[in-house]
Each structure stands twice: as structure tokens, then as C-alpha cells.
């Protein structure tokens, strides 16, 4: 599993998504509840950036229609979204946040 640097850990504010592009894939990197998560940045319901939404209770909310996605699984917790979005493995090395685009789910 190949990991690439997404950003610095020091660049992440708690509960504030950071949009990065890795090999042409938009990814939202989120630091919350003592962990760092990487989730595809495009809502499965509407083609909008999830990183523009809010993070709460380990979920990221789509700002357009209000669907929230679990940062651990990518599964939506409510309508209108019904399909999950991909989540990606993350590891921390020093200040580097590394993400693998191999999907966990």
C-alpha cells in the first residue's frame, strides 16, 4: 500500500476539513477526536466539496443538502445521500500526514 504526503499535521485545525488533491483525487483530511481521517472530498449525492462542510461527532456534513458522512466508514447517516463515499488509510510520520488512495471502504 503506497502512502503519499497529504499535508502537515500542524496544518490541520481541529474539526476543520482541509482539501488536498492526491494523484488527481480530491481528498478531505480531517483532524477530530484525537485522530486524523481522509475521505473522498466529493459528496455522493451532489457533486460538491465535503471539505466546505462542518465536522461534528466524527462526521462531515455536506453543506449543500445536509447529509453527513462518517469519517471512519464513509457511510451517510441521513438523506438525501444514500451511497457512501470512499475513505482512505492514514498514517502519521513526524509532522507528515500520509494517505493511501487504496480504499478502506
| Band of pLDDT at residue 60, cut at 50, 70 and 90 | very high
pLDDT in the model for residue 104: 54
Q: Could you report how far apart the first and last alpha carbons of the chain are, in Å?
A: 15
Whether the predicted pLDDT of 71 surpasses 50: yes
Tell me the pTM.
0.93
State the Cα–Cα distance between residues 44 and 46, nearest whole angstrom.
6
Instruction: Write down the domain spans for the chain.
Output: 3-99
Please give the average per-residue pLDDT across 37-64, as a whole number.
95
State the Cα–Cα distance between residues 6 and 44, nearest whole angstrom.
22
State the Cα–Cα distance between residues 93 and 3, nearest whole angstrom.
11
For the domain made up of 3-99, give the CATH fold: Rieske Iron-sulfur Protein (2.102.10)
Q: Give me the chain's average pLDDT, please.
A: 94
Instruction: State the CB neighbour count (10 A cutoff) for residue 17.
Output: 24
Amino acid at each position: 500500500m503506497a502512502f503519499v504526503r497529504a499535508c502537515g499535521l500542524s496544518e490541520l485545525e481541529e474539526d476543520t476539513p482541509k482539501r488536498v488533491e492526491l494523484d488527481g483525487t480530491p481528498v478531505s483530511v480531517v483532524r477530530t477526536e484525537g485522530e486524523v481521517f481522509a475521505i473522498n472530498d466529493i459528496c455522493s449525492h451532489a457533486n460538491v466539496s465535503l471539505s466546505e462542510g462542518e465536522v461534528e461527532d466524527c462526521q462531515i456534513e455536506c453543506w449543500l443538502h445536509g447529509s453527513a458522512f462518517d469519517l471512519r466508514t464513509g457511510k451517510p447517516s441521513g438523506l438525501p445521500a444514500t451511497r457512501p463515499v470512499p475513505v482512505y488509510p492514514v498514517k502519521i510520520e513526524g509532522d507528515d500526514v500520509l494517505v493511501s488512495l487504496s480504499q478502506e471502504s
